[in-house]
Amino acid sequence: MNGPARSGALTWGQPVSFAAVWDRAVAERADETFLIFETPSGAVAHWSYAEFDESVDRAAGTLAVLGAEPGAAIHLALTNSPTFVATWLAASRLGAWIVPSDPMGRAPELAGHIERTRPTVGLCAAGRADTYRAAVAESGRADLAVIEIDEADVTLAPFDAAPLAASERPAVARRERAAVMFTSGTTGRPKGVEVTQANYAFAGKVMAEAAGLAPEDRQMVVLPLFHANAQYYSFASAIWAGASVALMPAFSASGFLPAAARHSATCASLFAAPIRMILARGGPADGTTLRHCWYAQNISADQYATVAQWFGCRPRQLYGMTETIPAVLTDEAADPHHDSMGRVSPGCIVDVQDAAGVSVEPGAVGEVVVGGEPGITLFAGYLDAPDITAASFRDGWFLTGDRAVRDDTGRHYFDGRRSDVLKVSGENVSIVEVEAALSEHPEVLEAAVVGRPDEIRDEVPVAFVVAADASAPPSVADLHAWCSERLAKAKRPVAITLIDELPRTSVGKIRKFLLADRAAQRRS
């Protein structure tokens, strides 16, 4: 599954720093394309590895002048842009660490991240500076140096100090913190996931090998850079392999395939939700050269067949978390299954265990747990939360909270989160099964199910449905009849609500706590 061997290639015999991986790529691929960026206006800029490394040194020099020494934090509230990438790599070179936040976040959310990480420098878009500066004031960090940028700028003009000289680069250890990424908060207060230099390098190696990435490949990045998917699966893997990246400022359902064709992209990474959006609003594009596409979370068999035809390749599902670093489960290129999370990724350690920590037999449901070395192949811990970190492990295994079934070939199938099991009159009901049944309806684009407290049955399933065609949605009565034909009584939603769209995080995860609140309010 590996790409072509190259002289001087780093191996994983010994963990390495992400800074070393970037330096190796620059040395070996200096004149080859590293980054293509298409601005919101449609203008396109290109950088070779060597050219972008000059921008990294300029960014590092400017950040250093502002106090970003080894161990310092740099806060980013930026959309996809060359400035984000240059700052990330510059921080890595300096031995500093980034704190990427949702650039569209409200002041209280941004203030919380700033207060908890105490950055030396903060970067935001000039157009959102009022919100950002309000967050800085709310955090009590009046001393924070703020750089306002134009996210469409391809000159990286704010980095105007003398470039960092090679002789000024500090030695960067592999276990040094490289980032703190806050979880998306779909169920509660976000946790700060500590990511090390070695973590980024390991993510790049595993994901490059799993995708068979070669220097000739080009990653198409449309997911937000402030989350792990774009960083781990696309950028880190491209840098590891010496491949190139076509970076879009944002995801466009109708524009995804035309952009992939326009920039000769060969690889991409998506979630199920963006794929459904492409199916609803997009269409095939001439000249598409995708040979590979990762995606997370299930889509239906019909959706998979269509997207495979449009993309020109059979997308492969994966499973991972910010904490697991790479995707620890990846489907195989030879025979991908649309409903499978895949098999254990090369170099990763995964088991499926019961509540006592015992491996379950094939066909039995258990919790996905991940082995490895914290700070090297697993995240280093949760920021300033040793108790939460300790509670997330059992006998050295990281507890994901996700349930799966593993067959006798080692292929895994998602069965929901621990919190996705409802207790209806004493019977376990998987909301994943209910969602799957509703999503198979020909007039349904997607569905989400939550539990609602019930005085008689403890809790009951409640469904929210998005129609495939908003102008001709299915009737609620028809959906209830559909469920009655396919689900046992305890599994049938007691209420079904048609909505225009499901509430989501920036990377497409459903904010189910908002739906649960809505379900409870409807009952009252």
pTM exceeds 0.85 for this model: no
CATH superfamily of 425-523: ANL, C-terminal domain (3.30.300.30)
DSSP 113-151: HHHHH--SEEEEEGGGHHHHHHHHHHHT-TT-EEEEE-T
What H or E segment, with its residue span, contains residue 329?
Answer: strand 329-330
What are the extents of the domains in the chain?
425-523
- Residue 354, amino acid: D
pLDDT of residue 458: 72
What's the pLDDT band for 189 if we cut at 50, 70, 90?
low
- Residue 194, amino acid: E
CA dist 333 and 331 (Å) reads 7
What SS3 string covers 366-408?
A: EEEEEECCECCCECCEECCCHHHHHHCEECCEEEEEEEEEECC
User: In a 3-state reduction of DSSP, which class is residue 263?
Assistant: coil
pLDDT one-digit tens code per residue, 333-369: 999 999 999 999 999 999 999 999 999 999 999 999 9
pLDDT one-digit tens code per residue, 479-517: 999 999 888 788 899 999 999 999 987 667 788 889 988
pLDDT of residue 6: 31
Token pair 């996809």 in the structure block, residue:
80
What's the pLDDT band for 186 if we cut at 50, 70, 90?
very low
For the CA atoms of the chain, what is the radius of gyration? Answer: 23
Average pLDDT, the chain: 92
Is residue 221 within 8 A of residue 260, CB to CB? The reply is no
Is residue 54 within 8 A of residue 151, CB to CB? The reply is no
pLDDT one-digit tens code per residue, 398-448: 999 999 999 999 999 998 776 677 878 656 687 888 998 899 999 999 999
CA dist 306 and 223 (Å) reads 21
